[in-house]
Structure 1
Amino acid sequence: MKTPLLIAAACLLALLSTVGAALPYPILPPLFAADVSNNLNHFLGLPPKLLFGIALSINPLGLLIGTALLGPMSDRYGRRPVLLASATGAALGHAITAWSLVIQNYPLFILARFVTGLLEGNASVARAMLADRLEGDLRVQALAWLNGAVYSGWLVGPLIAGMTLGFGITVPFWIATVALLLTAGMVAIALPKEKTSHLTTSWWQVARSKHAFNLLKVPELKQLFIIQLAYTSGVTAFYDFFPLWLVEVAGYHSKGIAWMTAGLCAVMALASLFAGRPSNVMPLRRVQFHAFCAAAAVAAVGLGNTWIGLIAIIAFGFPNAIYNALLPSWCSERFGHHGQGAVMGLISTTFYLANIMIALLGSILTLIDTRIILVFGALLSIWAARRIGHWRAELEAKDNAIAAENAF
C-alpha cells in the first residue's frame, strides 16, 4: 500500500464530494436573481428565490442520505468497492447535471443534483479508510488534511465555477466529471483489494439497520449530534448565502464571487496545514474557542457594512478549518469503537442535515432580507460553542469518575 497515494486519493475524494455540492454557487445566484425569465428561475411560476433554495438544498439532501448509508455499508462490504462505485456514479451525475442546464430543465437538474449528492456522500468512507489504515500522529495529520479538503470543497467548487464560466455554463460540471474518474483510478491503485465478506446480510438490511443515525442511541453521540447540528447550521448559513449576499449587498457577479472564494479558500487551506499539530490545550477547549470565532465572523457578515462583511468572509476560513480538523480527530479516538465508518458518517450527515434545513429556511427568510439567515445561523453557532464548554465539563467529570472507580 502506498501511503502518500492513499492519503492523496482520500483527500481528493473528500474534496470532490463537496466541490460537487458547491459548484453551482456562483452559477445559480445570477440565474435566479436575474430579471430575465427562463425555464429555471420561473418553473411552475414559483418565486425565483424559492426555486433557488430548493436547488441549494436538494444536493445536500442526497449527501445526507448517502453519508448515512455509505459509511456503514463500507463497514460491511469494504471501503474499496464502495468508493469506486460511488465516485464513478457521481461522475455520471455531474454529466447529467450539465445536460440539464443546457436544455434548461429544472426537474432534471434537481434529480441529477440529488443523485450526485447521494453518491458523493462518500467522504465518511474516505475518513474511515484513513482511520483503518493509519495510526498515531500520521492518522491525526491525515484526518486533519482530509477534513480541510472536505470544507475547502465548499470554497474550491465556487472558485472553479467562477473561473471557468467564461468557457460555458456546463464546463465546471465536466471538470468535476473528469476529476472524479481520475480519483477513482487513484483509489483503485492505492487501496488493495479486500477479502470477500462472508456475511449474508443484504445491502438493504445494512441500510436499514446500520445507518449512522443508529449512533444517536448512545447519549454522548447524541450530544455530539445536537452540538454539531447547531454549529454547522451557522456554517451552512454562511456557505449557502454569502454568495447571494455578495450579489445583493456588494454588487458582485460570478467572477467577483470566485475571487472572494479564492481568498477564503487560501485561508482555509493554510489553516488546515497547521490544524493537526500537537497542542497542550485540550481538544474540546480548542474546538469551543474556534467555534466562537467562526460564529463571530458569520455575524459580522450579517450585521456589518460591506467592507466589514468582505473581511469577515475571508477571516471565517481560519477558525472553521481548525474546528473541522480537531473535532473529527477527537471523535475518532473517543468513539472509534462504534465503527469508524458510522462515526464519520454521523459527523458528515449532521453537516448535510444542517445544510438542508438552512437552505429551505433561508429560501424563505431571504424573501425579506438575506442578512437575516446569516444572523440566525451565527446565533445557532454561538449556542453550540457555549454548549461545547458544558459538554466538555460533563465528559471530564465522567472520565474522572471512571478513573477513580478503576483505581479501586
Structure 2
Amino acid sequence: MKTALLIASACLLGLLSTTGASLPYPILPPLFAGGSGNPANDLTGFLGLPPKLLFGIALMVNPLGLLIGSAMLGPISDRLGRRRVLLATSIGAAAGHALTAAALVAGSYPLFLLARFATGLLEGNGSIMRAMLAERLSGPLRNHALSWLNGAFHLGWLVGPLLAGFTVGAGISVPFYIAAGALLLGAGMAAVALEREYVTPRAGSWWTVARQGHSLTLLRHAPLRTLFVVHFAYACGVASFYEFFPLWLVDIGSYDTRQIAFVNMGMCALMTFAALFAGRASPVEPRRRASGHAAIAAIAILAVGLGNLWVGLAAIVLFGLPHAYYNATLQGWSADQFAMHGQGAVMGLLSTTFCLANIVMALAGGILTLVDTRLVLIVGGLLAAWAAFAMRRWSARAVTATVAVTMEAK
C-alpha cells in the first residue's frame, strides 16, 4: 500500500469518527441546563432526576463504550485484520448515530444512553488507526503520521460542534443523521483505498482474544503501569476540560449551542494547526517535553476554572496548543519504547486510559456541578499539574539511571 494512501485513509476515518463523537457537546448543555427555556421532558427530566446529573451520565456512557472498544478492538484486529475490523466498526458507528437521532426525536433518555454507548464502543477503533500507522511506518515519518492522525481527530472536534451549531436549527436529530451519512461515505472510500490483508489464522475465538489479550493486560509491566498512572491523571484534567467547559459557558456566559460551537472552533483550529508540526524531532528527552506541555495545559484548565468569562475564553482556545504537542510527544515515544508489546495493544492502552478518565470525570463532574461547575475544572487542572510533575520526575530518574549505567560501563 502506498504510504500516502495509508495515512490519508486513517486520517479520513479519524476525522469522521471524532466528528460524530463531538456532536453532542454543544447540543446537550443548553438542552439539560438551559433553564426555563427548556422545560423538563422524558429526556431531560428522566425519573425526576436533576437535569445536570442526567447531563453528567449522558457524557459518561459514550466514553464507557470507548473504554471497552479501545481495550478490545486492537487485539481483535490483530486476529481478524485491521481493514476488516476498521470498516465493520465504522459502519456500526454510523448506525449508532442514526439511533441517537431516533432517541432524541422520541425523547427517550434510556434509548439515548444505549445509542451513545454503542457508538462509543465502535468508535474505539481509533487504536486500530494508530496501530496501522505505528506498525507500517518507522522513524520520523511515523511520528509525523501519528501527529497528523491526531490532527484529524482534533479537527473532528472542530467540525462536529460546527456541524451541530449550524444544523441543529433544522431539528435536533439532523446533525446526527448527517454524521451517520458522512461516516458511511468515509467507510466506503476507505474500503476502496485500503488493501486487503492476509491474516495468519490464530487459535481461539475473537472473544477469547479480546478477553485475554485486551490492552489492560499490559499493566503487568512496571513501566507501562507508570505510564498509565501519569497519563491517566493528565487525561482526567483534559476530560474535565472537554466535558465541562461547554457547561461553564452556559453557566457563566449564558451561551447557546452556536456560541459554544464557535468557541470550540477556535480551540480545535489551533489544536489542528499545532498537530501539523508537533511530530518534529527534538533533542529534549520526550517525557521531559511532555511534562512541559502538560504543565501549560494545566495552567489553561485552571484559568478557566478560576478566571472570568474573557480569561476563560482565551484559556479555552489556547489550551489546544500544548495538548496537541503533548499527544504527539507521548504517542511517538510510546510507539518507540514499547513496540515489543504490539502497537495495537500499546495504542489501545493510551486510548483506554483516556476513555477511563472521561468516565471518571463525567461521574465526578456530574456531582460537582451540583455545587459549582468551576469545581470540576479546578480539580481537573490540579490533576494535570500533578501529571506534569510526575512525568518530569520519571524523566529525571530515567536520565540519571542512563548516566549511571554509562559511567559503570566506562
- Asked if these proteins are the same fold (TM beyond 0.5), I'd say yes
1:163-182 correspondence runs (5 A): 163-182=166-185
Deviates more, 1:144-153 or 1:289-298: 144-153
3-state SS of paired residue (2:25) = coil
1:3-402 correspondence runs (5 A): 3-34=3-34, 35=36, 36-400=39-403
Deviates more, 1:226-235 or 1:71-80: 71-80
Residues 285 and 395 of structure 2 are in contact (CA less than 8 Å); yes or no, is this contact kept in structure 1?
Answer: no
What is the CA distance between 1:331 and its match in structure 2? 0.4
Residues 7 and 130 of structure 1 are in contact (CA less than 8 Å); yes or no, is this contact kept in structure 2?
Answer: yes
Q: Take 1:152 and 1:226, find their aligned partners in 2: how far apart are those partners?
A: 27
Residues 264 and 317 of structure 1 are in contact (CA less than 8 Å); yes or no, is this contact kept in structure 2?
Answer: yes
3-state SS of paired residue (2:10) = helix
Describe the shift of the 1:234–1:64 C-alpha distance in structure 2 as closer, same or farther (beyond 3 A).
same
Q: Take 1:80 and 1:399, find their aligned partners in 2: how far apart are those partners?
A: 40
Aligned length: 407
What is the CA distance between 1:311 and its match in structure 2? 0.7
3-state SS of paired residue (1:25) = helix
Residues 156 and 261 of structure 1 are in contact (CA less than 8 Å); yes or no, is this contact kept in structure 2?
Answer: no
Residue identity in the other structure for 1:261: N
What is the CA distance between 1:156 and its match in structure 2? 3.1
Describe the shift of the 1:404–1:73 C-alpha distance in structure 2 as closer, same or farther (beyond 3 A).
farther
Residues 67 and 124 of structure 1 are in contact (CA less than 8 Å); yes or no, is this contact kept in structure 2?
Answer: yes
What is the CA distance between 1:139 and its match in structure 2? 1.1
Q: Take 2:52 and 2:43, find their aligned partners in 1: how far apart are those partners?
A: 11
Residue identity in the other structure for 1:96: L
What is the CA distance between 1:401 and its match in structure 2? 5.3
Q: Take 1:107 and 1:90, find their aligned partners in 2: how far apart are those partners?
A: 18
Deviates more, 1:80-89 or 1:11-20: 11-20
What is the CA distance between 1:148 and its match in structure 2? 2.5
Residue identity in the other structure for 2:67: L
Root-mean-square deviation (Å): 1.5
Give unmatched runs, 5+ long, in structure 1: none
Residues 17 and 121 of structure 1 are in contact (CA less than 8 Å); yes or no, is this contact kept in structure 2?
Answer: no
Q: Take 1:80 and 1:141, find their aligned partners in 2: how far apart are those partners?
A: 22
3-state SS of paired residue (1:284) = helix
Describe the shift of the 1:180–1:399 C-alpha distance in structure 2 as closer, same or farther (beyond 3 A).
farther
Q: Take 1:78 and 1:399, find their aligned partners in 2: how far apart are those partners?
A: 38
What is the CA distance between 1:3 and its match in structure 2? 2.2
Residues 148 and 325 of structure 1 are in contact (CA less than 8 Å); yes or no, is this contact kept in structure 2?
Answer: no
Q: Take 2:126 and 2:334, find their aligned partners in 1: how far apart are those partners?
A: 15
Q: Take 1:132 and 1:175, find their aligned partners in 2: how far apart are those partners?
A: 33
Residues 87 and 119 of structure 1 are in contact (CA less than 8 Å); yes or no, is this contact kept in structure 2?
Answer: yes
Q: Give per-residue Cα distances to partners, 1:129-157, cap 9 Å, x unaligned.
A: 01122222211110011122234433432
Residues 75 and 339 of structure 1 are in contact (CA less than 8 Å); yes or no, is this contact kept in structure 2?
Answer: no
Residue identity in the other structure for 2:28: L
Q: Take 2:77 and 2:187, find their aligned partners in 1: how far apart are those partners?
A: 16
Residues 31 and 41 of structure 1 are in contact (CA less than 8 Å); yes or no, is this contact kept in structure 2?
Answer: yes
Q: Take 2:143 and 2:11, find their aligned partners in 1: how far apart are those partners?
A: 13
Q: Take 1:31 and 1:264, find their aligned partners in 2: how far apart are those partners?
A: 22
Residue identity in the other structure for 1:20: G
Residues 335 and 343 of structure 2 are in contact (CA less than 8 Å); yes or no, is this contact kept in structure 1?
Answer: yes
Q: Scaled by the length of structure 1, what TM-score is found?
A: 0.96
Q: Give per-residue Cα distances to partners, 1:316-375, cap 9 Å, x unaligned.
A: 110011111111011000011100000000001100100000011101100110000000
Q: Take 1:197 and 1:153, find their aligned partners in 2: how far apart are those partners?
A: 34
Counting aligned pairs with the same residue, the percent is: 60
What is the CA distance between 1:404 and its match in structure 2? 6.2
Q: Take 2:337 and 2:89, find their aligned partners in 1: how far apart are those partners?
A: 28
3-state SS of paired residue (1:368) = coil
Residue identity in the other structure for 1:109: F
Deviates more, 1:180-189 or 1:290-299: 180-189
